[in-house]
């Protein structure tokens, strides 16, 4: 549902992130903004402003966990346990407000330059439990969610367990040729074993979080966080995760091409946008509440510089995988193309005079 761009708020002199959809007004931004505005936790990305075409959010100087896993493969158990414990604490804050995220996955977890995890992308989050619309990403989807049963916080616990499995094994727990095949694996098949170097307590925590029956999982995300944070899961002899790669500028031409399109959402403010390659994904969001009348304050003028994250060569994975399943549909903005200017026609030359006789 849109792309995310790095931007500069000129009034408050701070860097922000803009999630934009330029194809048409999308009332789902209002629903997502309401969910994010109700949540206040250091492990959840903050929201600053929103409109029919965009969200203005806290900028996290780091990378999605999905990019880190693609570049580095499996994480050491201590790092995996710490990151997952931080996300589980954030999920508990989400559940305390009666919200189910429904799309917990590596692409929706940001790791900042200090190595801290933040949960983001509430585009398909549901207020209250019992929502039975199938939404989310098959690779990390709980069995009851895949079968269209009512979804409760236990589904988020399962999804985070699947993310923890991916961090430890370097690959998702199940894969397949399409989302339906992957979902059937989650419903029917036992988990493949985790690497032998996984601490027993950490392995048991992941297996319990991914129990097929929600009753057999941890009773809450907080309980899962406590199990992940046990000292037995942390080996001080293991090296820490290397720092997240810095940002690298992209070409000026691409920035200017997007500038005109992003300017439409600034409501008079000047924008030159920067694509952060948002990997938000999953199915179409839940039917949102009716969008309120346009009485929200006009957003601050923003000016941005286009950048992208540097991506080191992807290491060769130790295990063979099939092609990844398609994620949630993302609408990419189409920058307006410049209209070619026709050259002016030269003035007609005077006809020669007839010869004198």
Find tokens 């098949």 and name the residue: 189
Enzyme catalytic residues: 103
Query: What is the distance between the alpha carbons of residues 104 and 96, in angstroms, rounded to a whole number?
Result: 16
DSSP-derived secondary structure for 166-214: HHHHSS-S---SSHHHHHHHHHHPPPPPPPTTS-HHHHHHHHHHT-SSG
**Residue 14's beta-bridge partner residues?**
9
Cβ-proximal residues to 321 (8 Å cutoff; 6+ apart), any chain: 171, 175
CA 320 to chain centre: 25
Cβ-proximal residues to 174 (8 Å cutoff; 6+ apart), any chain: 139, 182, 185, 186, 189
What angle, 0 to 180 degrees and rounded to 10, lies between the N-to-C axes of helices 77-96 and 153-169? 170
Nearest Cα residue to 56 out of 110, 99, 117, 2: 2
Query: What is the distance between the alpha carbons of residues 173 and 171, in angstroms, rounded to a whole number?
Result: 6
Q: Are strands 54-58 and 62-64 parallel, antiparallel or unpaired?
A: unpaired
């Amino acid at each position: 549902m849109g792309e995310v761009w790095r931007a500069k708020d000129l009034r408050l002199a701070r860097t922000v992130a803009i999630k934009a959809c330029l194809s048409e007004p999308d009332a789902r931004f209002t629903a997502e903004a309401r969910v994010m505005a109700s949540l206040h936790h250091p492990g959840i990305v903050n929201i600053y402003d929103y409109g029919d075409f965009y969200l203005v959010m806290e900028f996290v100087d780091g990378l999605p966990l999905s990019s880190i896993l693609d570049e580095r493969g499996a994480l050491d158990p201590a790092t995996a346990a710490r990151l997952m414990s931080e996300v589980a604490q954030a999920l508990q804050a989400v559940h305390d407000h009666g919200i189910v995220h429904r799309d917990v996955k590596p692409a929706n977890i940001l790791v900042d330059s200090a190595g801290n995890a933040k949960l983001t992308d509430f585009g398909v989050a549901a207020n209250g439990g019992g929502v039975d619309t199938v939404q989310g990403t098959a690779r990390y989807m709980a069995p009851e969610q895949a079968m269209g049963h009512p979804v409760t916080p236990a589904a988020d616990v399962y999804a985070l367990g699947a993310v923890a499995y991916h961090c430890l094994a370097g690959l998702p727990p199940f894969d397949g040729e399409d989302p339906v095949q992957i979902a059937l694996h989650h419903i029917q098949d036992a988990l493949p074993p985790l690497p032998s170097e996984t601490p027993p307590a950490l392995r048991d925590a992941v297996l319990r979080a991914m129990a097929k029956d929600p009753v057999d999982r941890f009773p809450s995300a907080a309980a899962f966080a406590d199990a992940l944070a046990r000292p037995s899961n942390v080996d001080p002899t293991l090296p820490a995760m290397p720092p997240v790669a810095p940002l690298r500028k992209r070409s000026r031409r691409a920035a200017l091409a997007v500038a005109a399109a992003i300017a439409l959402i600034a409501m008079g403010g000047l924008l030159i946008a920067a694509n952060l390659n948002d990997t938000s994904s999953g199915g179409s969001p839940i039917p949102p509440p009716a969008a309120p009348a346009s009485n929200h304050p006009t957003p601050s003028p923003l000016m941005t510089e286009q950048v992208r994250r540097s991506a080191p060569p992807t290491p060769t994975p130790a295990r063979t995988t099939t092609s990844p399943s398609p994620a949630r549909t993302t609408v990419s903005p189409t920058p307006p193309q410049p209209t070619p200017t026709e050259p002016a026609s030269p003035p007609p030359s005077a006809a020669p005079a007839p010869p004198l006789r």
